[in-house]
Amino acid sequence: MIPDSPAISDNHQEQAKDVITADETSSDKPEEACGVFGIYAPGEDVAKLTYFGLYALQHRGQESAGIATFEGTHVHLYKDMGLVSQVFSESILSTLTGSIAVGHTRYSTTGSSRKVNAQPALVETRLGKLALAHNGNLVNTVHLREELLKQKYNLITTTDSEMIAFAIAQEIDAGANWIEGASQAFQRCQGAFSLVVGTPSGVMGVRDPNGIRPLVIGTLGEHPVRYVLASETCGLDIIGAEYLRDVEPGELVWITEEGLTSYQWSQKQQRKLCIFEMIYFARPDSLMQEESLYSYRMRLGQRLAQESYTEADIVFGVPDSGIPAAIGFSQSSGVPYREGLIKNRYVGRTFIQPTQTMRESGIRMKLNPLKDVLYGKRVVIVDDSIVRGTTSRKLVKALREAGAVEVHMRISSPPVTHPCFYGIDTDNQDQLIAATKSVEEISKLLEVDSLAYLSWQGMLEATREDPESFCSACFTGDYPVAIPEQVKRSKLILEKAPVVLG
Annotated binding site for [4Fe-4S] cluster: 274, 420, 471, 474
3-state helix, strand, coil in the chain (%, to 5): 30, 25, 45
Q: Which member of 34, 314, 323, 404 is catalytic?
A: 34
Is residue 236 within 8 A of residue 246, CB to CB? The reply is no
CA–CA distance, 269 with 68 (Å, rounded to integer): 30
Nearest to 49 by CA among 126, 102, 118: 102
Dump the DSSP string for 382-414: EES--SS-HHHHHHHHHHHHTT-SEEEEEESS-
Q: How far apart are CA 78 and CA 122, in angstroms?
A: 11
Q: Taking a C-beta distance cutoff of 8 angstroms, is the pair 304, 462 a contact?
A: no
Give the residue numbers of the binding site for Mg(2+): 321, 383-384
CA dihedral sign of residues 201, 167, 77, 283: positive
Q: What residues form DSSP beta bridges with 35?
A: 105
Other beta carbons within 10 Å of 184: 17
Active site residue 234: no
> Are β-strands 367-369 and 341-343 bridged in parallel, bridged antiparallel, or unpaired?
antiparallel
Q: Quote the Cα angle for 277-284-454, to 5°.
A: 60
Asked if 13 and 63 touch (Cβ cutoff 8 Å), the reply is yes
CA–CA dist 346, 459 (Å, integer):
32
Question: Is residue 136 helix, strand or coil?
Answer: coil
What are the beta bridge partners of residue 218? 228, 243
The long-range contacts involving 175-184, CB below 8 angstroms and separated by at least 24 positions, are: 177/127, 178/127, 178/202, 178/204, 178/254, 179/204, 179/252, 179/254, 179/263, 181/125, 182/206, 182/252, 182/265, 183/252, 183/263, 183/265
Residues tagged in the binding site annotation: 274, 321, 383-384, 420, 471, 474
280: DSSP letter: I
Rounded Cα–Cα distance for residues 498 and 500 (Å): 7
State the virtual CA torsion across 456, 460, 462, 465 in degrees, nearest 10: -170
Asked if residues 163 and 224 have their Cβ atoms less than 8 Å apart, the reply is no
SS (H, E, C) 30-88: CECCCEEEEEECCCCCHHHHHHHHHHHCHHHCCCEEEEEEEECCEEEEEEEECCHHHHC
- Residues 452, 420, 478, 492, CA torsion sign: negative
Q: Which residues are part of the catalytic machinery?
A: 34
